[in-house]
């Protein structure tokens, strides 16, 4: 990893922003510790874009306080830009520019930039250093944009939907890069529409809903606090009645599922034990069984009252502007 400055922490207090009568941010407060990955989750219009823009000095907040590495980001946005790198989803490059040329151009704006060769090596781009941007794969293009975020040796990096539109393999590769950046001591603020991505990458997650922060905790803690019950999903050789399944130990509710049953249970092991014993007594073989634990999607539903709806086109996930959201 290219030599970086000391990771920066983020402190946001009562951040408020209106677009006319629309309240995009309603006094949100959260901290990002130096060296951690903090994820912002929320549907379009929740306030993610406005929060990132205020942090990056691209938009002025109406009220509140925002500090990055001890610098007042609202009063000294130019100073903050010197220590923050950003990979924004809507960003792109000229079709015929090469990764090396893009990094050289970006480096010309800073007094002590990271050498382009170091960034090409770090982000696995040396083989494509002289390739035109429009010839690169989706994953390679994302790595170029991510490398550009590190030209100024940032203390904090903002990633807005970094894996949007990527195939599973490219996503895994970029996840590995992001994890290594955190291991190297970089603070990362990540906005994503991918719940699994947030759960895998983030040390803590903040959930935004209608301009308010409704949760702020590690993914495991959010899931552990979910009211949703685990589910036992199973099929049998001979059909079972709803009454029989409902009577199993620990079962709270049941629903038909793909020719079998899905049982919400307060005691997974107890339900499975009771089920297998009943099936043995009846000579009814168990065909398939799955255990489904509560997920971040369950947490989101409980906190916001709405199901998680990722954008139909992942490339559009982070472009919506809260100003245009009803």
- Specify whether 242 is located in the same domain as 217: no
Domain boundary among 224, 243, 276: 224
Domain boundary among 203, 224, 245: 224
- Specify whether 77 is located in the same domain as 157: yes
Q: What is the pLDDT of residue 91?
A: 81
- pLDDT by residue (tens digit) across 260-290? 999 999 999 999 999 999 999 999 999 999 9
Give the model's confidence band at 1: pLDDT under 50 very low, under 70 low, under 90 confident, else very high: very low
- Three-state SS annotation for the chain: CCCCCCCCCEEEEEEEEEECCEEEEEEEEEEECCCCEEEEECCCCCCHHHHHHHHCCCCCCCEEEEEECCEECCCCHHHHHCCEEEECCCCCCCCCCCHHHHHHHHHCCCCCCCCHHHHHHHCCCHHHCCCCHHHCCHHHHHHHHHHHCCCCCCCEEEEECCCCCCCHHHHHHHHHHHHHHHHCCCEEEEECCCHHHHHHHCCEEEEEECCEEEEEECHHHHHHCCCCCCEEEEEECCCCCHHHHHCCCCEEEEEEECCEEEEEECCHHHHHHHHHHHHHHHCCCEEEEEEECCCHHHHHHHHHCCCCCCCCCHHHCCCCCHHHCC
- Specify whether 155 is located in the same domain as 24: yes
Q: Containing domain of residue 152, as a range?
A: 8-224
Q: What is the pLDDT of residue 320?
A: 43
Is 325 within the bounds of a domain? no
Q: What is the CATH number of the domain that holds 157?
A: 3.40.50.300
- Specify whether 154 is located in the same domain as 250: no
Is 180 within the bounds of a domain? yes
- Specify whether 130 is located in the same domain as 153: yes
Whether pLDDT at 310 is above 70: no
Q: What is the pLDDT of residue 316?
A: 40
- Specify whether 52 is located in the same domain as 193: yes
- Specify whether 217 is located in the same domain as 235: no
Is 174 within the bounds of a domain? yes
Is 74 within the bounds of a domain? yes
Q: What is the pLDDT of residue 318?
A: 38
**What pTM does this model have?**
0.82
Please state the domain count of the chain. Answer: 2
Q: What is the pLDDT of residue 177?
A: 85
- Specify whether 264 is located in the same domain as 123: no
Domain boundary among 224, 239, 263: 224
Whether pLDDT at 42 is above 60: yes
Q: What is the pLDDT of residue 325?
A: 45
Is 319 within the bounds of a domain? no
- Specify whether 278 is located in the same domain as 198: no
- Specify whether 160 is located in the same domain as 136: yes
Of 101-110, 120-129, 189-198, give the lowest mean pLDDT range.
189-198
- Specify whether 155 is located in the same domain as 278: no
Is 298 within the bounds of a domain? no
Is 118 within the bounds of a domain? yes
Q: What is the mean pLDDT of residues 22-34?
A: 96
Q: What is the mean pLDDT of residues 153-176?
A: 87
- Specify whether 91 is located in the same domain as 38: yes
Give the model's confidence band at 312: pLDDT under 50 very low, under 70 low, under 90 confident, else very high: low
Is 326 within the bounds of a domain? no
């Amino acid at each position: 990893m290219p030599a970086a400055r000391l990771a920066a922490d983020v402190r946001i207090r009562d951040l408020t922003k209106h677009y006319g009568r629309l309240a995009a941010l309603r006094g949100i407060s959260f901290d990002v510790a130096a060296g951690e990955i903090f994820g912002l989750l929320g549907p379009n219009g929740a306030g993610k874009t406005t929060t990132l823009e205020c942090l990056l000095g691209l938009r002025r907040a109406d009220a509140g306080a925002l500090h990055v590495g001890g610098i007042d980001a609202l009063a000294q946005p130019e100073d903050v830009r010197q220590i923050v790198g950003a990979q924004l989803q809507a960003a792109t490059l000229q079709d015929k520019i090469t990764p090396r040329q893009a990094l050289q151009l970006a480096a010309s704006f800073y007094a002590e930039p990271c050498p382009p060769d170091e960034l090409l090596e770090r982000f696995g781009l040396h083989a494509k250093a002289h390739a035109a941007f429009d010839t690169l794969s989706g994953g390679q293009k994302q790595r170029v944009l991510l490398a550009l975020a590190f030209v100024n040796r940032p203390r904090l990096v903002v990633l807005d939907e970094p894996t949007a539109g990527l195939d599973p393999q490219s996503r895994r590769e970029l996840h590995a890069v992001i994890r290594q950046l955190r291991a190297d001591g970089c603070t990362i603020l990540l906005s994503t529409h991918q719940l699994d991505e947030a759960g895998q990458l983030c040390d803590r997650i903040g959930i935004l809903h209608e301009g308010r922060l409704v949760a702020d905790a590690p993914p495991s803690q959010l899931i552990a606090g979910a009211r949703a019950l685990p589910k036992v999903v199973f099929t049998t050789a001979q059909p079972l009645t709803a009454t029989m399944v409902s009577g199993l130990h620990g079962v709270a509710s049941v629903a038909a599922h793909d020719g079998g049953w899905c049982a919400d249970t307060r005691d997974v092991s107890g339900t499975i034990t009771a089920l297998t014993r009943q099936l043995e007594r009846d000579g009814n073989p168990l065909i398939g069984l799955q255990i489904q634990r509560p997920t971040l999607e369950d947490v989101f539903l409980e906190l916001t009252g709405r199901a998680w709806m990722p954008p139909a086109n992942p490339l559009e996930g982070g472009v919506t502007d809260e100003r245009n959201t009803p």
